[in-house]
Amino acid sequence: MQGAEAQYAFPHEGITMEDSSHKLIMEEVTDPEELAKMQARRKRYERNAAWLQAHAAEVYTRHRGKCICIAGEELFVADTPEEVLALATAAHPEDDGRFLHYIPREKVARIYAN
């Protein structure tokens, strides 16, 4: 962005960067203990994602228009992200690799491009 456009985060809404209360901070993590924790969390996430992949046909067919969360390789379903996270966290508080997703009501063709 250049000129006047550079001052706006969302020019069509008139919101400037100064209006934004959310800041993005990036840090490089080099502590071996922290790296090990992150890798373990990623593995838990990958197990939950793999569970969804293995059960996708049934889950997507039965739960359209719902929020789903997989924790402890178990499916939780609710109307809102907050509700489904509460259910999953109550059942599996140790699983910090939860997989949260919303399944659209209608099955439509989607185009993904890289």
Position 14 in a domain: no
Residue 71 sits at φ, ψ, to 5 deg, of -140, 135
Predicted confidence at residue 114, as pLDDT, reads 66
User: Residue 92, Cα to own-chain centre: how many angstroms?
Assistant: 17
> What is the residue range of 53's domain?
30-114
Which helix (H) or strand (E) segment is 48 a member of? helix 32-62
Predicted confidence at residue 3, as pLDDT, reads 47
Position 23 in a domain: no
The total number of structural domains in the chain stands at 1
Q: Smallest Cα–Cα separation from 96: which of 49, 48, 41? A: 41
Position 12 in a domain: no
Running along the chain, 114 residues long, what does each successive block of 10 average in pLDDT? 46 56 85 95 97 97 97 98 97 97 87 73
Position 5 in a domain: no
State pTM to two decimals.
Answer: 0.71
